[in-house]
Each structure stands twice: as structure tokens, then as C-alpha cells.
Amino acid sequence: MSTADRRLDVLRAIVSDYVCNREPVGSKMLVERYDLGVSPATIRNDMAVLEEEGLIYQPHTSAGRVPTLAGYRVFVDKLAQIKPLSAPERRAIESFLADALSVDDVIERTVRLMAQLTRQVAIIQYPHCTQTKVLCLEIVELGDQRLMIVLITDNTNVERRTLNAITANSAELAQFKHVLNQLCIGKELAQVQEILGQHLHTWPYDFQKQIAQTILELTKVEAEQRLVIAGTANLVRAETDFQHSIVPVLDALEEQVALLRLISGVQTDQVRVSIGKENHHDGLIETAIVAGKYGTETTSAHLAVVGPVRMDYTAAMSTVQSLSNYLSHYLKK
């Protein structure tokens, strides 16, 4: 093993130990916990070189060393490996997600699972598909002048909306449902938007306009701007990893446009890690973002985990890639 490779092994051990224990790492700890195959004196020399290169630093006198942002960057680029999940882990994920009934359901389950597996904030963008079509449209009478509009698309997504104070009898509703089915079934969402927009003001009755307006809202093509977030409580648990308040991070998580910009650009089957100032957002300069992409030829979106710079990058990268693969497989069904 070359001297450079050995020093990378020392850096890997320092990062792994610090992520695990949140304590500065000394040469004695490295000798006791890791089989590096060299003497303590050699390890001390390697640590001195790593410190000169700006990859580790000593937070205070007589303390061990901790990684710098540059050290984490080298760890991610050269040392972190995306390991496939074990068979039990894969079975657990498949079991948790197997009975999901719709895109909404699988997204909600996946984002919760990703937050649990990584112990970070999990973010999933809804898949954006310009070719999604209306498969089924139902108007269900609930009694007391109440209706439920149910819209099902061919990607198994189900949208529901309840309307109140609808003054129409069953025959009128059945006739209008027939008209809507002729206009909407088999049409892409953008087409439905255009068609109903053209007809909306031609229908004479209020109930017709209420129902049509509701369908317009349900079919609004805004998936590319829709994010689901889980695990924000994990930030509170990791608050000591932030030098300042976690409030700027929480505020940044509310900015969906900014988040989409940060997690986009990743190609399918890739995992991208941005650390600290690489995030180009004032509220996220103390965080790391591990992002991936999922989808098919016609449908795609992104997912990511956000947490403190001191995170388990190996686990986060493996989880993001595995769940990206699962979501891609789901969309291809």
C-alpha cells in the first residue's frame, strides 16, 4: 500500500469514527479501533500531513482531530462506497411498500421510510409526467347536498375532493357525469385543463361549474413543484451538530423552489452529494444533501436526504440509490 493510500485509510477511519461517536479522534483511538497495519507513530505522522492538507483539524488543544468540509469531500469522492442493501433490508423495504395503492401512497411511505433509515430529513419530488391520462372520473352522492369527486389517472394516482351545498338531483348529476366522461376520459391532464377551461363558462348551472372547477384543480399539472418532506424532527435530535441555530435550515426546507433547484440535475442511477457551501444557500451551509433521481423514460423526479455535515454518508448514499431504484421499478409497472 502506498503512503497516499494509507493516509486515505486514516482519513476514512477518522471520518467514520467521528460520524459514529461525535468525538474528536486521536491516534490512540485509531490504533485501538482500526487495523491500519502501522505503528502509532506512523499514524500520528499521517494525521499531521492530513491536517496540513486541510482535511482534518484539532478543535482545541490536546484534543483529537475531526474532519473538515474538505475532508468530508475527499471521503465522499474517494472513500465512500455505495453498498447494496442486504437481503433482509431489501425484503423489509419491499414489504413496507408492497401494498401501496397509488403514487400518493408509495411516495408517502417511501419518504417516511427514507427518514427512518437515514435518521435525516427526507425529501421526495412527485413524479412529473406530461403523458398521464385520466382513467376514471366518478361523481359520488354523499347525501345532504354533498358530493365526492374521484379522479383516477393511468399511473394509479387517486385524487378526491368533497363538495358541499350542491343543488342538483341524481338525474342531473348522472347526465353531467356522462358529459364529463366524454370530455375527459383518456385525455392527458394538460388536455383536460384546456377542454374544461373552454367549457367552464358555457355551462349554465352552478353545480356544473363547481364540479368542473374542482376537476380543473385535481388535474392541475403541478407535480414538478410538489415535494413531500419527512423527518424534520431528526434535525432537532442533531441540533448539537450545528454551530448556530437550526432555524435557517428549517426555513430553507420551506422553500420548495430552492430545494428543487438544489436536488435537481442528478442523472438516473447517480447519487450526488453536496456539502456545506456547495449547496449555494445561506440556510444550508451547515448541511449536506445526498440526492438521487428516479423514473422512467417519460416520468422522472428527484429525492434527497438533508442533514448535518456530520452524517453517515455511506448509509445515506446507499439508501437514496436503493429507494430510487425501487421507485423507478414501481413507476414501470
**CATH code of the domain covering residue 159:** 3.30.390.60
Position 221 pLDDT exceeds 60: no
Return the pLDDT at 72.
96
Domain identity same for 315 and 242: yes
Given a contact cutoff of 8 angstroms between Cβ atoms, the answer to whether 303 and 292 are in contact is yes
Name residues whose C-beta falls within 8 Å of residue 107's C-beta, 6 or more positions apart in sequence.
124, 126, 228
Domain at 262, CATH number: 3.30.450.40
Domain identity same for 38 and 66: yes
The residue among 54 and 237 whose pLDDT is bigger is 54
Share of residues in the chain with pLDDT > 70 (%): 97
Residue 228 DSSP label: E
End of a domain among 220, 242, 262?
A: 220
Q: How many domains does the chain have?
A: 3
pLDDT band of residue 129 (cuts 50, 70, 90) is low
Domain identity same for 198 and 268: no
pLDDT, mean of residues 1-11: 88
Domain identity same for 120 and 256: yes
Name residues whose C-beta falls within 8 Å of residue 286's C-beta, 6 or more positions apart in sequence.
241, 242, 243, 244, 249, 276, 308, 309
Position 222 pLDDT exceeds 60: no
Given a contact cutoff of 8 angstroms between Cβ atoms, the answer to whether 319 and 124 are in contact is no
Domain identity same for 181 and 245: no
Instruction: Show the cell assigned to 243.
Output: 454551530
Domain identity same for 39 and 158: no
The SS3 of residue 80 is coil
pLDDT band of residue 167 (cuts 50, 70, 90) is confident
Domain with 310 in it: 87-128+224-331
pLDDT band of residue 130 (cuts 50, 70, 90) is low
Domain identity same for 113 and 139: no
Handedness of CA 63, 68, 74, 76 (dihedral sign): positive
pLDDT, mean of residues 202-228: 82
Domain identity same for 139 and 205: yes
pLDDT band of residue 84 (cuts 50, 70, 90) is confident
Position 69 pLDDT exceeds 60: yes
Return the pLDDT at 223.
44
pLDDT, mean of residues 5-28: 91
Domain identity same for 299 and 173: no
Domain identity same for 244 and 215: no
Return the pLDDT at 310.
94
Domain identity same for 319 and 261: yes
Position 81 pLDDT exceeds 80: no
pTM above 0.85, yes or no: no
The residue among 332 and 50 whose pLDDT is bigger is 50
pLDDT, mean of residues 239-255: 89
* Dihedral, 9, 322, 311, 83 alpha carbons, nearest 10: -10
Domain identity same for 110 and 98: yes
Domain at 51, CATH number: 1.10.10.10
Nearest to 119 by CA among 232, 21, 228: 232
* Rounded-to-integer distance, Cα 58 and Cα 131, Å: 55
